[in-house]
Amino acid sequence: MSIKNITTSAVQAGINTDEHHGAVVPPIHLSSTYSLKGFNEKREFDYSRTGNPTRATFAQAIAELEQGSVGIVTSTGMSAVHLICQLLSTEDTIVIPHDCYGGSFRLFTHLARRGQFKLVVVDQNDEAAFAQALAQKPKLVLLESPSNPLLRLVDIEKLTKACHQVGALVAVDNTFLSPALQQPLALGADIVFHSTTKYINGHSDVVGGVLVTKEQALGEELAWWANCIGITGSAFDSFLALRGLKTLPVRMKQHQENANEVAKFLKQHSAIDAVYFPGFADHPGHDIAKKQQQGFGAMMSFEVKGGVEAVKKLFANVKLFTLAQSLGGVESLISHPSTMTHAGMEIEAQLEAGITQSLVRISVGIEDVNDIIADLNHGLSQSQL
């Protein structure tokens, strides 16, 4: 906990902590079980669902980057979201943003339909609607900033203060920025979580999640549940994600440098109606981004002229960009939110969240930016033929 610089913390995570052999990089512990020293004499670890040295190293590294006290590594990002639901009883209310991650939206709406908790879905930028939601005295409020796929922002510090005034806990999905660019706990939130599948692992070869709490007691409660319901992450995935984490701050620098150039290119392109990128001064969340983020990230979306037919032609003509969901890997990806990431959302809910048929989302990778732009340029010109 002594190293505060985020780049140094990430690189140094777990380095030279192996007392047994002096391994510089923390070894991977695949053993499912651990011996007792003797009758009723437990060691630190006893069974890998409950605790595992490799997972613990990764959890501690993330907790440090997010400036929290307890880190919990989960099997997927969705299991981190599901873990949060364990805080809610049938009479409790949770407030979620209307444009949250499609999988989160599906989980919350379906569990609420089965009576597991009460759900309020709200546009969190609508001050009156948000105040009305808080008047219902929720136990928990979920924030996601920037949101997917339209990169809408909310003022985390301001909303968290309002939530705390009514006694609600605040959990923030920080997947789109990673702790390298935003630390919600430092802005007042109680819980921050990630799909580590995205920027934290960063190489599109792990599906995983992590959750960090500000307070020790809340962290212990959630760690108890994570073991109880059996959603803790595997040792192998933790090893890979820790390896990815080491280059997170360096990767984010290149992602952002490329994203700024790509956004500028898209904005002036005649095949495009609108670009949603918080780095633009005219983006409605630009000032909030400057205040609460250490950069604008590398996700953006745009409307292609000519509707879904033009989108299909764009996808058929890009080569460097891969048509795939997910984001945050070193490689550039392109997707159609309506039929892909947000397909779990009913069409009315999609439209309410601003997801049209001509909307395209890209995750800008760390390839040479001139190659990225040339590929998009070719695809976009073909899209208009």
Q: Find the shortest distance in angstroms from Cβ 327 to ligand PLP.
A: 6
> CA–CA separation, 371 vs 60, rounded Å?
38
Element (H, E) at 4: none
Q: Is 66 or 375 the residue whose CB approaches ligand PLP more closely?
A: 66
69 within 8 A of 214, measured Cβ to Cβ: yes
Indicate the residue among 175 and 301 with the shorter CB distance to ligand PLP: 175
Using CB positions, name the residue nearest to ligand PLP.
Answer: 77
**3-state SS track over 127-142:** HHHHHHHHCCCCCEEE
Helical residues (DSSP H) of the chain, grouped into ranges: 6-12, 53-65, 77-85, 102-113, 127-134, 156-165, 216-229, 235-245, 248-267, 286-292, 307-317, 347-352, 369-383
All residues at 6 or more sequence positions from 89 whose CB lies less than 8 Å from its CB, including other chains: 117
CB of 337 to ligand PLP, least distance (A): 11
Considering the complex, state which of residue 65 and residue 369 has its C-beta at the smaller distance from ligand PLP.
Answer: 65
Q: Indicate the residue among 171 and 223 with the shorter CB distance to ligand PLP.
A: 171
Angle between helices 235-245 and 53-65 (to 10 degrees): 40
DSSP structural state of residue 38: B
Which residue lies nearer to ligand PLP by CB, 269 or 342? 342
List the catalytic residues. 49, 101, 173, 198
Q: Is omega for the bond preceding 284 within 30 degrees of 0, making it cis?
A: no
Q: Which is nearer to ligand PLP, 176 or 239 (CB)?
A: 176
- Torsions phi, psi of 317, nearest 5? -110, 0
Whole-number Å distance between alpha carbons of 182 and 32: 35
Rounded CA-CA distance 235/81 in Å is 20
CB 370, min distance to ligand PLP, A: 28
Among residues 72, 303, 51, the alpha carbon closest in space to that of 209 is found at: 72
Of residues 289, 305, 294, the one with CA closest to residue 248: 294
End-to-end CA distance of the chain: 57
Would you tell me which residues interact with ligand PLP (CB under 6 A)?
A: 76-78, 101, 103-104, 148, 173, 175-176, 195, 197-198, 207, 209
